[in-house]
Amino acid sequence: MKKLLPLFFLGLTTILFAQTAQDQQSIKEIFNEALKNGKAYPLLKDLCLNIGPRLSGSPGAAAAVEWSRHIMESNDFDSVWLQPVMVPHWVRGQKEIARVINSKKMGTMNLSVCALGNSVGTGPAGVSAPVVEVKSFEELKQLGAKAIQGKIVFFNRPMDPTQINTFAAYGGAVDQRGGGASEAAKLGAVAVIVRSMGINLEDYPHTGSMRYAENVPKIPAIAVSTKHAELLSKLVKEEKELQVYIETHCEMLDDAPSYNVVGQLNGSEYKEEIIVIGGHLDSWDLAQGAHDDGAGCVQAIEVLRLFKMLGIKPKRTLRAVMFMNEENGLRGGMKYAELAKVKKEKHIAAIESDEGGFTPRGFSMMATDAVKNKIKSWKPLFEAYGLTDFNHPGGGADISPLAPSGTALIDFSPDTQRYFDYHHTPEDTIDKVSPRELEMGAAAMAALVFLIDKYGL
Amino acid sequence: MKKLLPLFFLGLTTILFAQTAQDQQSIKEIFNEALKNGKAYPLLKDLCLNIGPRLSGSPGAAAAVEWSRHIMESNDFDSVWLQPVMVPHWVRGQKEIARVINSKKMGTMNLSVCALGNSVGTGPAGVSAPVVEVKSFEELKQLGAKAIQGKIVFFNRPMDPTQINTFAAYGGAVDQRGGGASEAAKLGAVAVIVRSMGINLEDYPHTGSMRYAENVPKIPAIAVSTKHAELLSKLVKEEKELQVYIETHCEMLDDAPSYNVVGQLNGSEYKEEIIVIGGHLDSWDLAQGAHDDGAGCVQAIEVLRLFKMLGIKPKRTLRAVMFMNEENGLRGGMKYAELAKVKKEKHIAAIESDEGGFTPRGFSMMATDAVKNKIKSWKPLFEAYGLTDFNHPGGGADISPLAPSGTALIDFSPDTQRYFDYHHTPEDTIDKVSPRELEMGAAAMAALVFLIDKYGL
């Protein structure tokens, strides 16, 4: 026995080495195919240039649904289907106006603004009022109803540029956009202007969703470009009587029918175990939605295409899911999880790419420690491709409704240093996407799916 | 003694912890200043838009020299001076022409080309000849003089897209550009066309330097866009009689006077120990030279500015060096090392940024093992900023002449996945630079200089 044990371990070690070498080889083939013949970039170009903006409920969104179905069918996936879901149908209407109307220094001056998604409009009469600048909800509350009543509240706390994680900087500022209108309305404000969620000083505003609290008057909300936020702040400080005129024509219509689009490769051994790879198909109305989140959609499709091209027959069932309505409702993500529950489907993992089509850096996770450790144990297989960051918590919006069912949630984590230069703006266009970075992201996701499929979780 | 030793080690450990915490704090301050108030990006914008192309010997290069001196003087560095150096003076002349002249399929068709730097021109008479495609010097030699005599040789080996390190892919293809003309001329070729050093299929050619071997006829060399390389390859295979006409007007003039520009902060304790931080000031004539290498220049200046702004008095002497003529001669780098030797200066480290102004990933090094290990021991201080790659060999072109003197050579290593989309092309413009990525690179370099200055090497 004493002699056999070392031999046993030697044998085990040999097997493990061989397995690692095999996995290295498979992952190399995945990256090679993606980097030589990847189709994510041409697909994204098509989506951006021939469909373009696709806000939930819009004709663009409907076209994107048909486009996705067509692409997945023409890739010959085992099955492709639509999941009907009712979505909010918000429309911007004619171009917004915001102007400083009585500046001693500047006279009348237009501000670079856009309505925030889900906001009510002012209608053609518009709103004129003095402006009160605040940096936080706390400051707003301290000022109190007396100071706020009848005013336009200007939320001007910038994203913190010293945060290396740009999503943390976003998280530290976005409460103003999401909840600012209702917080201000509680104190009698007539409208809000929110500094755009961008780190640089820019000429263009960033749109994005806001939500109204229940039983609070709904007041119009707009975003202002970071440059004009700086200017407005200066004017407000210098001129106590300063007034701004806002005119927006946006409105929330009745919910509209739309769809998640799902394409599947059937598992050969554990068909009932499903691995979701997803992105969201809707984008803001002002953007091509190249990085947000056309990139995630085409990468999800590309993962399945890579499996097919390389002749890798998945043991488990792989699904590319184009979620609808991430931007202003998350109805698609909720519908997907609801249907999964009704059908008693077992989702072992869901991977979302919704942080842009940039160079891959790693994966973030929300899962049990055992699952996280298993995935981290694969890190050496990824390091040669520059993926070294497996330590952050995460789990994208669309897949988050799967959490209660115990699904491991995984976010693809690219380099996001320039993500918020484009996010929710007309600058989010195909020319901001590097073909190579995008394809590498798809390869990284395919490699992770390969390992999860092979070893389970 | 037995009791004292643990106490001694406890004390040492406490000191080391405190030191690490101090260093962490200093590096945090460097990044914060760079990310909040960094000046690298506005400087680069100025250089790109108000000076633009600056090939050695050109008026643009002369303007860039004056610009650098002015910027460093206005930053109030302890001293700023010029190092005279004679540089090659190559001029492109009027726009190049290359056209397929007798294709049965395409008739006459212009190709997207540009002359390679240092190449002789065809002159107004041009050259017409049949085209022989090869993928390597070996293939060329196997074909032999009989097949090559009187022909245009078309070097068409692509950069390998499956190399994750794009500089390795470049290194694997660039022999064709550098030495192809002389290799072909040895066998009697009349001109060469070289596939551009780009990974994607693009409409524009990439220029770059070539060199003639001694005692071999000098024949004209041009680069063709990757898209047209594919097309030309197809035509050459299908049509045996295919001829191409090339007309270029470039020429090498007499050497011209130019300068390296040096700015210095004096060391307070070890003044004789010099740390160089450099980039190259010259760019190709077809490019703004934003990433190559305006980025490296402004980052070098920014490193010294960060020291001044944060009130960090260097113990050692810091020099920002704008090297002249990296692109087509390296005369500036050689002159700098020559003068250092003459003056018996002690350069302990030289850091170059010449791989683009992208998100920092690490540093590559050419140094003794002791020095490399010392620098690697600082890696934990950089990981929070995404710099994890300290394992590659490296040492930029301009600083390489310092190697014989024992200087530790260090390359700043950013994410280079999209570098070769722009490299040596008109696409290398300021809009391809992310302000945040550029400033983070400067901060990363400043942090490394901070540690080298504090602890020595």
B443 touches chain A (CB under 8 A): no
**Cα separation of B213 and A8, whole Å?**
61
Name the CATH code of domain A94-252 (choices 3.50.30.30, 3.40.50.2020, 3.40.50.720, 3.60.15.10). 3.50.30.30
A391 touches chain B (CB under 8 A): no
| pLDDT > 90? residue A7 | no
Minimum distance, in Å, between the CA of residue A201 and any CA atom of chain B: 10
- State residue B4's pLDDT score: 61
| pLDDT > 60? residue B2 | no
CB A372 within 8 A of CB A378: no
Query: Which of B:292-351 have CB within 8 Å of A?
Result: none
- State residue B271's pLDDT score: 98
What would be the CATH architecture of the domain defined by B30-86+255-455?
3-Layer(aba) Sandwich (3.40)
CB B363 within 8 A of CB B387: yes
Give the model confidence (pLDDT) of A403-417 as tens digits: 999 999 999 999 999
| pLDDT > 70? residue B6 | no
Give the model confidence (pLDDT) of B217-243 as tens digits: 999 999 999 999 999 999 999 999 999
B386 touches chain A (CB under 8 A): yes
Mean pLDDT of B51-64: 98
Give bridge partners of residue A350 from the DSSP assignment: A276, A409
**Cα separation of A434 and A384, whole Å?**
20
CB A379 within 8 A of CB A388: yes
* B362 band by pLDDT with thresholds 50, 70 and 90: very high
Q: Which of A322, A318, A325, A306 is nearest to A349 (CA)?
A: A318
Mean pLDDT of B153-170: 98
Minimum distance, in Å, between the CA of residue B163 and any CA atom of chain A: 8
- Residue in chain A closest to B385 (alpha carbons) equals A164
Strand order, beta sheet including B316-323:
B79-91, B251-265, B316-323, B270-280, B346-352, B408-414, B360-366
Which residues, other chains included, contact B384 with Cβ-Cβ below 8 Å and sequence gap of 6+?
A164
Q: Which of B28, B32, B162, B387 to mutate to test the interface with A (most CBs of A within 10 A)?
A: B162
Mean pLDDT of B20-27: 96
Percent of chain A residues past pLDDT 90, beyond the cut: 94
| pLDDT > 80? residue B107 | yes
| pLDDT > 60? residue A241 | yes
- State residue B430's pLDDT score: 98
Structure tokens at A68: 């996705």
Minimum distance, in Å, between the CA of residue B229 and any CA atom of chain A: 17
Placement of tokens 């039983």 in the chain: A215
| pLDDT > 70? residue A350 | yes
CB contact under 8 A, B386 and A164: yes
Structure tokens at A42: 């041409």
Question: To 5 degrees, how large is the angle CA A271–CA A365–CA A324?
Answer: 65
Percent of chain B residues past pLDDT 90, beyond the cut: 94
DSSP per residue, B316-344? EEEEEEEES-TTTT-HHHHHHHHHHHHTT
Q: Which of B161, B172, B154 is nearest to B201 (CA)?
A: B161
**Cα separation of A381 and A16, whole Å?**
13
CB contact under 8 A, B164 and A385: yes
Characterise A140 by phi-psi region: left (phi > 0), alpha (psi -120 to 50), beta (else). Answer: alpha
Query: Average pLDDT, whole number, for chain A?
Result: 96
B421 touches chain A (CB under 8 A): yes
Give the model confidence (pLDDT) of A35-70 as tens digits: 999 999 999 999 999 999 999 999 999 999 999 999
Q: Which of A353, A344, A277, A352 is nearest to A317 (CA)?
A: A277
Burial status of residue A180 (CB atoms within 10 A of its CB: 0-12, 13-18, 19 or more): buried
Among the partner-chain residues A359, A361, A417, the one whose CB lies closest to the CB of B434 is: A417
Minimum distance, in Å, between the CA of residue A203 and any CA atom of chain B: 14
CB contact under 8 A, B164 and A31: yes
**Cα separation of A312 and A447, whole Å?**
11
Query: Average pLDDT, whole number, for chain B?
Result: 96
B373 touches chain A (CB under 8 A): no
Chain B hits for A200, Cβ within 8 Å: 435-436
Chain A hits for B384, Cβ within 8 Å: 164
CB contact under 8 A, A164 and B359: no
Among the partner-chain residues A200, A384, A435, the one whose CB lies closest to the CB of B164 is: A384
Give the model confidence (pLDDT) of B376-414 as tens digits: 999 999 999 999 999 999 888 999 999 999 999 999 999
Among the partner-chain residues A162, A421, A435, the one whose CB lies closest to the CB of B31 is: A162
B434 touches chain A (CB under 8 A): yes
- State residue B346's pLDDT score: 98
Structure tokens at B94: 């009027």
Structural domain boundaries in chain A = 30-87+255-455, 94-252
B165 touches chain A (CB under 8 A): no
**Cα separation of B297 and B283, whole Å?**
11
Higher pLDDT: B374 or B14? It is B374
CB-defined contacts A:B, below 8 A: 59
Rg (CA), chain B: 24
DSSP per residue, A386-448? T--B--SB---TTTGGGGGGTPEEEEEEE--TTHHHHTTSTT--GGGS-HHHHHHHHHHHHHH
**Cα separation of A397 and A407, whole Å?**
14
Would you tell me how many other CB atoms lie within 10 Å of the CB of residue A13?
A: 10
* A4 band by pLDDT with thresholds 50, 70 and 90: low
CB contact under 8 A, A437 and B417: yes
- From residue A4, alpha-carbon distances to A7, A15, A16, A57, B350 in Å are 5, 16, 18, 68, 56
CB A222 within 8 A of CB A114: yes
A199 touches chain B (CB under 8 A): yes
Chain A hits for B34, Cβ within 8 Å: none
Under CATH, which number does the domain A30-87+255-455 receive? 3.40.630.10
Placement of tokens 């030495």 in the chain: B179
Higher pLDDT: B127 or B9? It is B127
| pLDDT > 80? residue A11 | no
Mean pLDDT of B195-222: 98
Residues in chain A: 457
Chain B hits for A437, Cβ within 8 Å: 417-418
Q: Is the dihedral of CA A289, A291, A294, A297 positive or negative?
A: negative
CB contact under 8 A, A418 and B437: yes
Structure tokens at B201: 């299929």
CB contact under 8 A, A436 and B415: no
Backbone angles phi, psi at B37, to 5 degrees: -130, 20
Q: With b meaning 16 or more CB within 10 Å and e meaning fewer, what string describes A417-454?
A: bbbbbbbbbbbbbbebbbbbbbbbbbbbbbbbbbbbbe
Q: Which of A25, A20, A14, A19 is nearest to A312 (CA)?
A: A25
- State residue B261's pLDDT score: 98
Chain B hits for A441, Cβ within 8 Å: none
Mean pLDDT of B322-343: 98
CB A39 within 8 A of CB A74: no
What would be the CATH architecture of the domain defined by B95-252?
3-Layer(bba) Sandwich (3.50)
Mean pLDDT of B303-321: 98
| pLDDT > 70? residue A2 | no
A200 touches chain B (CB under 8 A): yes
C-alpha dihedral (A163, A166, A168, A171), degrees to nearest 10 = 130
Would you tell me how many other CB atoms lie within 10 Å of the CB of residue B2?
A: 5
- Residue in chain B closest to A361 (alpha carbons) equals B386
Chain A hits for B25, Cβ within 8 Å: none
CB contact under 8 A, A417 and B435: no
* B7 band by pLDDT with thresholds 50, 70 and 90: low
Q: Is the entire prediction scored with pTM above 0.90? A: yes
Placement of tokens 């469909």 in the chain: A51
**Cα separation of A180 and B18, whole Å?**
42
Give the model confidence (pLDDT) of A281-308 as tens digits: 999 999 999 999 999 999 999 999 999 9
Which residues, other chains included, contact A310 with Cβ-Cβ below 8 Å and sequence gap of 6+?
A29, A30, A33
- Residue in chain A closest to B437 (alpha carbons) equals A417
Burial status of residue A142 (CB atoms within 10 A of its CB: 0-12, 13-18, 19 or more): exposed
Mean pLDDT of B137-158: 98
* B77 band by pLDDT with thresholds 50, 70 and 90: very high
CB A152 within 8 A of CB A191: yes
Chain A hits for B386, Cβ within 8 Å: 164, 361, 415
Mean pLDDT of B184-196: 98
Among the partner-chain residues B162, B384, B417, the one whose CB lies closest to the CB of A32 is: B162
- From residue B235, alpha-carbon distances to A334, B92, B99, B194, B227 in Å are 54, 28, 12, 16, 13
- The alpha carbon of residue A131 and the mean position of all alpha carbons in its chain are separated, in whole angstroms, by 32
For the ranges A389-398, B43-52, B178-187, B278-287, the lowest mean pLDDT is seen at A389-398
